[in-house]
Structure 1
Amino acid sequence: MAEQEEDFSLLPLQDRVTHKNWKVRKEGWEDAAKAFAATPDESDPVFRPFVLGSDLWKGAVTDSNVAAQQEGLSALCAFLKYGGSQACSRSRSATVTPIVEKGLPSAKAGAKQNSLEALLLYIEIEGKSDMLLEDLLQGLSNKQPKVVAATLGALTAIYHAYGVKIVEPKPSLKALPKVFGHADKNVRAEASNLAVELYRWLREAMKTLFWNDLKPVQQQDLEKLFEGVKSEPSPKQDRLLRSQQEAAAAAPAGSDEDGEAEEEAAEDEAPAEAFDLAEPVDVLKKVPGNFHENLASSKWKERKEALDALYEAANTDRIQDGHYDEIIADLAKSMKDANIAVVTIAANCVEVLAKGLRRSFAKYRGRIMGPIMERLKEKKQSVADALGQALDAVFASTGLSESLEDILEFLKHKNPQVKSETLKFLIRCLKMTKEAPSKPETKSIAEAATKLLTESVEALRAGGAEVLGTLMKIMGERAMGPYMDGLDDIRKTKIKEYCDAAQVKAKDKPKPVAPPPKAAPPAQKRAPTTKKAAPGLKPPVKRASTPQSEKPAASSPQSRPAVGKAIPSKLGGLQKSAPAPKLGRGLAGRPLGKPTAPAEPSAPSAPAGMTAAEREELESLRADKDRLLRTSDDLRTEKSKLTSQIHELQNQNAQLIEDHTRDVLSIKAKETQLVRARSDAEAAESMVQRQGREMERLKRELSRNVREASPLTSDDPIYQDRNLNGSQHQPGMERYDSGRSESREVGYQRARSYMGSPSEEKENGSLEVGGGKKPSLGRNLSGDTLAAGRGDDSGVAPATGQGVDSYKRAAEVTSQLKARIEQMKAKQGLTRPGR
């Protein structure tokens, strides 16, 4: 056994930590941690096997033996602490997920602590937490409640150590509603702890992301927990990043940089706003399609309804950037509206747009600020308040430098109401701005405020004094001294009172800009170099442009002799007639290889510190000039880019206007076609109705004519037959008539046999030939004759006169009836062609 132990100790570390015996693994991790701690820097060879073999760390975290796992996690912490950024980047992907699943929910307290320490070290060394946070949040979907609870506890500890400025809070806030609905009470308890920790940093702003997804009971429970945190001061970052530690170590104690760092840290520790956490909303999609049409309506109610719809769509924490040019132009027009309700809601729309867009709204400032300030003449307080809030929101999206020109212009307005409200706006701007105004801006503001001190209106005089007092709070009394000299004591006292009472966010930072003391040491270092460089006369080439005398430039085109002459002329009257001409002639006539004589006059003329200081000042001025030239070039390039973008946007706008006009014209053409089609349809419908009425009238006329033309009763078989044949045109009518004609012939024969008179026979024959009248007559006569024959058995014929009269009468009636029927058929178009 002893020999085996000795063999284990001789094995390489990477073989020992992967050994099948847990004791060997445990001792291997212990030795690895000691080796890491003993390294001089991150490049030590002991780190190399563990940097290249990231699977070693996965095995350490997921070790089945809890004792070996604990030592493996301890070795991982040492590896991260001493191995640096390379150790973190190479091992993170292999260790975070196993830490979440095996390390954080471990039964051993040491393993839990080492797992959390490893996560904190990853953030501390890398300075970012995006990838690590993503892996951590995946643990919230684990099926085991203890893993979910341990992950929530780790998140709480991470936010407590580093705060929300380093660790992004949005993903965790979005995951809270899901874990609040978990079945395990431990998970819900850890979720409540995480919510309280986030509330310490974010306050009410955190509710925008998840509050509406919680049940009312859960909201009430959280509100009770939040009550205990509201009274606490703003939290501070407990654990510094590696970069922050290095910066703190490099900064000298008690320097001004420490104060600035503390101020920046205080700003970072301020509670986050809802804007930072909210998701951007595309307001353009929510604006009604008829917004511009309704806003151009002549009815103020329609204009107000359009602006109400815009306000409802834009009243959100954060707005997605887009093309709001048309909307801003319409809002600028609405500032001139005669109805104050429309003006008020338009100002509210400007306010919510500026708050939702923040810096993206700055490009619209020049188009909307002027119309708003022009409308400040409105005396109604509610309208003035709405306009003032809109101006404050617009200013917050830009800055004092961008808005100052418009503000100073409206301070000269002829309307006292506009001037007074503009003055109030300027005071609010000075209190809100975080950057101190420059010296030219300070001069402009102070001069404008000084003029207001002589106004006849008390409010304007008080406002001018408050402006000067607020400006003094920012810039200091010394900077405001030149503007206070000409004022009387009463006004000075009042200005100082406003200065003491003012609460500003900006402080004058041009003080450390004057660094002559820091420039002095380099001058002393460079002084001896001038003496060395004097024999070769190369350093004076830089000094040639320092003096601005014209004599050296005119006397010689060469730079080196001019420099030799320029130094005495710069130093003043003591060396006006000194050996400067000799120096010039000597330098011009002698070769450069013998410069010892000119070196002697340069020594007595050397108040060297003064010359070096001037040279330093010149070099600093040149550097400033170069910087300004580069800035000017950058601005010029930026201007050309913006100009090209403007031209491109103008072309796009013109194209959109052309497309819009074409679409409007096509729509109008379609509407015209639709109106014409409707009128044609109505005309056709009326024609159909007239034709229907005409048909009904003709039917009634036909039935009336049929009734008038028929003298026989409906019981008579002749009437029935003729009415049927006349009113209904049937194809078998000819067969029916032929059958009836045969019966008529039989009746005729019988009538002749009874009558026996040749004259009557001829008459009857003529009637038969009369075309179309024979059937009715034959039927009538046959019927009468048969009736007479049946009534008289003796065979004697009745009186012939009565039979002839009835025959004639029947023939006439039949002919009239047939003529009427043919006329009616002709009118109705029922007569067949050719008949």
Structure 2
Amino acid sequence: MADGEEDFSSLPLTDRFTHKNWKVRKEGYEDAKAQFEKSPDESDPVFAPFLQDPGLWKGAVADSNVAAQVEGMGSYCAFLKFGGVQACTRTRSMTVGPIAEKGLPCARPAGKASAQEALLLCIELDRADHVLEDILPTLSHKVPKVVAGALAALTTIYHNFGCKIVDPKPTLKALTKVFGHADKNVRAEAQNLTVELYRWLREAIKPLFWADLKPVQQQDLEKLFEVVQQEPSPKQERFTRAQQDAMAAASAAPGGGDGADDHGGDEFAEEETEEVEVFDLAEPVDVMPKVPKDLQDQLGSSKWKDRKEALDALYNAINVPRIKDGPYDDIVRGLAKCMKDANIAVVTVAANCVDLLAKGLRNGFMKYRSTILVPMLERLKEKKQSVADALGQALDAVFLSTNLSDCLEEILEYLKHKNPQVKQETVKFLIRCLRTTRTVPAKPEIKSIADAGTKLLTESTEAIRSGGAEILGTLMKILGERAMNPYLDGLDEIRKTKIKEYFETAEVKAKERPKPIMAPPKPAAPAGRKVVPGKKPAPGLKKPAPAAAEAPVKAAPKAIPSKLGKPGLAPPGAGLKLQRKLAGPGGTSSPQRRIASPPSEEAAPAPKFGLGRGLAGRPIAKPAAPVEPAPVPAPPAMNAMSAADRAELEELRAEKDRFTRISEEMKSERSRFNSQITELQNQNAQLIEDHTRDVLSIKAKETQLVRARSDAEAAEQNVQKQQREIERLKRELARALRASAMSPPNAGSEAGSLGIPETTSIYQESAGNGHAARSGLHMGSRFESTRPRSYASASPSEEKENNGLESPGGREGGLGLGRRKLSPTYGLSGIGSPTRSSRGSLHATEDEAAPRSAEPAENWKRAAEVTSQLKARIEQMKARQGLSRPPAPR
């Protein structure tokens, strides 16, 4: 055995890695680990065999013997640690899967720890995405122990690297499946992984899988989340190789100083641990198929319930974490129109829809800002808090999709609004914008915001004054106290104190970074080198003044053609030298200087030809020849160029003023057009209301007209009926008159018919004849012999009409036998009731009355009276129906 062992140790490492004896493999893993740890660098030859044959590590990390597997995992960790990035990229595709399947569920704690360390090293040296791609498939493994080990490894990975390095989206998608696993250990590890993700993502993880969990699981997780909320924000504990190189470079850079290594990692972790939102985790969803097809028609409905139902349907369609970009112009215009709705429920749902659309599109919503922002700011006049909150949330979402520069113009415009409610809510919106913006405003924007906040300090409403102070305090937090001091000049101490209070409590995300102090450049040496690039000046002749003068004179003609007229474009000192040349007597104090200056100016073109002799190489014997002609033309040329530059500058300033005026006019015209549009919209709404009211009034009038027509038709039918009744009465009257005229004279006395004492004999005669008993008539039947037939057979309706002609006590005269005196009116109208007579009884009374009528003249008189009374009654009936003229005088 000893000889065998010696033979095994003499074998190469690659052969020992694949040996059939597990002890030989185990010793090979141990020897390889020791050699890796002793290697000087990543290029050591000990790594070469394993880089050329990465398959060796697949058998090492998944060795069938547990003891050998533990050593193999340790050897692989050493290989990754000392072999560098190349060791990971060559072997990762062959080792991560076996590690997840056989290394993580290892029964020995050392083996499990080595497996997790190997995965962490792979992420540290390479990318986490490749490691996740090989680990996540093991979550569907049949063996619960493998699934639990993979979940525990994922928890460790996220705990060390965080969600910025390791993408949480693939893991979150797989959580729902493992929460429904039958094994309790798997569910427990899934719960631990969820809590770890909640440490980094907070509430952003819930929309992705929370709805698929059971209520009991949700309650358990909520209890664990409450504990996590009390903990501080997590920090990345382990850094990738790229992050380590960046931290090393930052510590080695100038200004890193001592202690940079101690705190550099913390600062880097703080930069990396930014808040992750649901939008970053979710996949874009196309919501257009879910939007109602008749949305615009429903939004234009006259019923507020129809409009609200349409907005509710839109809200349900776009209620997703992330929306795929598309043509939402019509939807945004419809929502902007809903901001002017008279019903606050419609406005609230529309604001919620804007909130979801802006959060779901983010940068894609930027192009709709101009359409929706102004209507929402205008609607801030609503005093109901629920509406104001919905609008404020929608405005914040719109701002997150844009930036402060895009929204500042509208915000500053509505800070001047005449409605205090609009002004107050706009102030709150601006404060929230300053707190959440990540970019420092530009200097013109800072001045505009500061001026607006200063004006708000003088408002009559205390809430608006406090808002102005908070605006200035938040702006001071962004810029710093020193940069804000110029804008606070002129304010009293009370207001400054209040601004300082808001400054101390303000929380902002954008802060002005102090500019590094740069060392001043060396001015003399670079200028001298530029002017004389060829040779150095003679050591005995030092003339720094001419050298300094030559550079500005040469560079001055290059600076003059500038279109902006800014002296900063010319080289340093050129503007000063030019000023001295153009300043007249003040520039050159003596004639000697005016004469001596041209030679230095004339030296400018010298480098083209004879500057090789040096800076003082001008011939001494002939100084006057080049000097005298130069001073005369040089100042006029400079003056002419200066005048042209000045004229161009004045022209540019005039053009700038003109453009400024045009811009102001366009702004005023724009505001005027906006006011006109608003006024026309209000007028349109009023006209629509008037039109609706007129339509309703017309419908009411038509209903009344239909009813009046039906009443008129009924009245006309009643009149025709009365006319037919009148004709019938006339015919009955004529018939009665003819019958009276043809009847023989009565033998009886008229006194009996007029109610005189002869009545007794008449009654006796009537009783003797038995006619009253046969016909069933009352006492008034004794007069029917003289009444017309038509009156005796009148209808019940005529009996009602005849009641007006009856005398009071007519019934007593007709029913009481003891009454002796009866008026003629009663005898004619009160006794002859149609309900108590008929045509048969009328003929019977006529036959019986014939022998009793003694005086025909009296009968004719009474008939005439009856006729006149009937005519009067007919005229009264016509007058009541409005169908006849007043009766002619008799």
TM-score of the aligned structures, taking structure 1 as reference length: 0.64
Deviations 1:714-736 (A, max 9, x none): xxxxxxxxxxxxxxxxxxxxxxx
From the superposition, tell whether residues 213 and 507 of structure 1 become closer, same or farther in structure 2 (CA, over 3 Å).
same
From the superposition, tell whether residues 255 and 292 of structure 1 become closer, same or farther in structure 2 (CA, over 3 Å).
farther
- The residue type equivalent to 1:242 in the other structure is R
Q: How far apart, in 1, do the equivalents of 2:140 and 2:171 lie?
A: 13
In structure 1, the residue matched to 2:144 is 145
In structure 1, the residue matched to 2:771 is none
In structure 2, the residue matched to 1:437 is 441
From the superposition, tell whether residues 564 and 597 of structure 1 become closer, same or farther in structure 2 (CA, over 3 Å).
farther
Residue 44 of structure 2 corresponds to residue 44 of structure 1: yes
Contact 1:587 1:598 in 2 (8 A): no
In structure 2, the residue matched to 1:201 is 200
Q: How far apart, in 2, do the equivalents of 1:247 and 1:565 lie?
A: 42
From the superposition, tell whether residues 100 and 524 of structure 1 become closer, same or farther in structure 2 (CA, over 3 Å).
farther
The Cα shift of 1:325 comes to: 1.0
In structure 1, the residue matched to 2:375 is 371
In structure 1, the residue matched to 2:487 is 483
Alpha-carbon RMSD across the aligned residues, in angstroms, is 3.7
Residue 35 of structure 2 corresponds to residue 31 of structure 1: no
Q: How far apart, in 2, do the equivalents of 1:348 and 1:256 lie?
A: 50
Deviations 1:73-118 (A, max 9, x none): 2221121112222211111111111112221222333222211111
SS of the residue aligned with 2:482? helix
Alignment of 1:663-812 (within 5 A): none
Q: How far apart, in 2, do the equivalents of 1:599 and 1:310 lie?
A: 87
Q: How far apart, in 2, do the equivalents of 1:173 and 1:552 lie?
A: 63
Q: How far apart, in 1, do the equivalents of 2:217 and 2:78 lie?
A: 42
2:472 to 459, 468, 472: 468
2:577 to 551, 554, 569: 569
SS of the residue aligned with 2:163? coil
Deviations 1:332-380 (A, max 9, x none): 1222223333222212211221122222222211111011112223344
Q: How far apart, in 2, do the equivalents of 1:53 and 1:180 lie?
A: 40
Give the stretch that moved more between structures: 390-399 or 256-265: 256-265
- The residue type equivalent to 1:343 in the other structure is V
Q: How far apart, in 1, do the equivalents of 2:75 and 2:362 lie?
A: 48
Q: How far apart, in 2, do the equivalents of 1:121 and 1:169 lie?
A: 19
The Cα shift of 1:293 comes to: 0.8
From the superposition, tell whether residues 317 and 437 of structure 1 become closer, same or farther in structure 2 (CA, over 3 Å).
same
Q: How far apart, in 2, do the equivalents of 1:111 and 1:445 lie?
A: 63
- The residue type equivalent to 1:502 in the other structure is A
In structure 2, the residue matched to 1:173 is 172
Deviations 1:152-179 (A, max 9, x none): 2211211221122222222223323332
In structure 2, the residue matched to 1:313 is 317
In structure 2, the residue matched to 1:690 is none
Question: What stretches of structure 1 of length at least 5 have no aligned partner?
Answer: 555-561, 601-835
Q: How far apart, in 2, do the equivalents of 1:280 and 1:207 lie?
A: 17
Alignment of 1:259-274 (within 5 A): 265-266=269-270, 268-269=272-273, 272-274=276-278
Q: How far apart, in 2, do the equivalents of 1:373 and 1:214 lie?
A: 41
In structure 2, the residue matched to 1:505 is 509
Q: How far apart, in 2, do the equivalents of 1:178 and 1:528 lie?
A: 77
Contact 1:564 1:583 in 2 (8 A): no
Q: How far apart, in 2, do the equivalents of 1:140 and 1:285 lie?
A: 34
Deviations 1:486-506 (A, max 9, x none): 223333233223323333232
SS of the residue aligned with 2:440? coil
Contact 2:332 2:371 in 1 (8 A): yes
Alignment of 1:304-703 (within 5 A): 304-509=308-513, 511-512=514-515, 515-517=517-519, 520=521, 533=533, 535=535, 549=556, 569=577, 581-585=598-602, 591-592=609-610, 594-598=612-616
Contact 1:449 1:465 in 2 (8 A): yes
- The residue type equivalent to 2:518 in the other structure is P
Q: How far apart, in 1, do the equivalents of 2:553 and 2:193 lie?
A: 66
SS of the residue aligned with 2:237? coil
In structure 1, the residue matched to 2:118 is 118
- The residue type equivalent to 2:612 in the other structure is K
From the superposition, tell whether residues 485 and 566 of structure 1 become closer, same or farther in structure 2 (CA, over 3 Å).
closer
In structure 2, the residue matched to 1:215 is 214
Q: How far apart, in 1, do the equivalents of 2:552 and 2:295 lie?
A: 66
From the superposition, tell whether residues 578 and 43 of structure 1 become closer, same or farther in structure 2 (CA, over 3 Å).
farther
The Cα shift of 1:536 comes to: 8.0
From the superposition, tell whether residues 189 and 586 of structure 1 become closer, same or farther in structure 2 (CA, over 3 Å).
closer
The Cα shift of 1:295 comes to: 0.7
- The residue type equivalent to 2:288 in the other structure is L
Alignment of 1:166-315 (within 5 A): 166-252=165-251, 253=256, 265-266=269-270, 268-269=272-273, 272-315=276-319
Give the stretch that moved more between structures: 194-203 or 84-93: 194-203
The Cα shift of 1:227 comes to: 4.0
Contact 2:35 2:46 in 1 (8 A): yes
TM-score of the aligned structures, taking structure 2 as reference length: 0.60
The Cα shift of 1:260 comes to: 9.6
The Cα shift of 1:268 comes to: 4.0
Deviations 1:685-727 (A, max 9, x none): xxxxxxxxxxxxxxxxxxxxxxxxxxxxxxxxxxxxxxxxxxx
Q: How far apart, in 2, do the equivalents of 1:406 and 1:222 lie?
A: 45
Q: How far apart, in 1, do the equivalents of 2:559 and 2:134 lie?
A: 74
Question: What stretches of structure 2 of length at least 5 have no aligned partner?
Answer: 538-546, 562-569, 581-586, 619-890
In structure 2, the residue matched to 1:15 is 15
Q: How far apart, in 2, do the equivalents of 1:310 and 1:68 lie?
A: 62
Q: How far apart, in 1, do the equivalents of 2:410 and 2:218 lie?
A: 47
The Cα shift of 1:381 comes to: 3.6
Q: How far apart, in 2, do the equivalents of 1:115 and 1:263 lie?
A: 30
Q: How far apart, in 1, do the equivalents of 2:557 and 2:47 lie?
A: 69
Alignment size in residue pairs: 587
- State the identity as a percent: 61
Q: How far apart, in 1, do the equivalents of 2:560 and 2:293 lie?
A: 73
SS of the residue aligned with 2:615? helix
Q: How far apart, in 2, do the equivalents of 1:536 and 1:315 lie?
A: 77
The Cα shift of 1:578 comes to: 9.2
Q: How far apart, in 2, do the equivalents of 1:542 and 1:204 lie?
A: 69
Q: How far apart, in 2, do the equivalents of 1:449 and 1:374 lie?
A: 20
SS of the residue aligned with 1:437? coil
Alignment of 1:120-135 (within 5 A): 120-126=120-126, 128-135=127-134
Contact 1:564 1:580 in 2 (8 A): no
Q: How far apart, in 2, do the equivalents of 1:565 and 1:421 lie?
A: 53
In structure 1, the residue matched to 2:642 is none
From the superposition, tell whether residues 433 and 547 of structure 1 become closer, same or farther in structure 2 (CA, over 3 Å).
farther
The Cα shift of 1:567 comes to: 10
Q: How far apart, in 2, do the equivalents of 1:339 and 1:137 lie?
A: 52
From the superposition, tell whether residues 136 and 552 of structure 1 become closer, same or farther in structure 2 (CA, over 3 Å).
closer
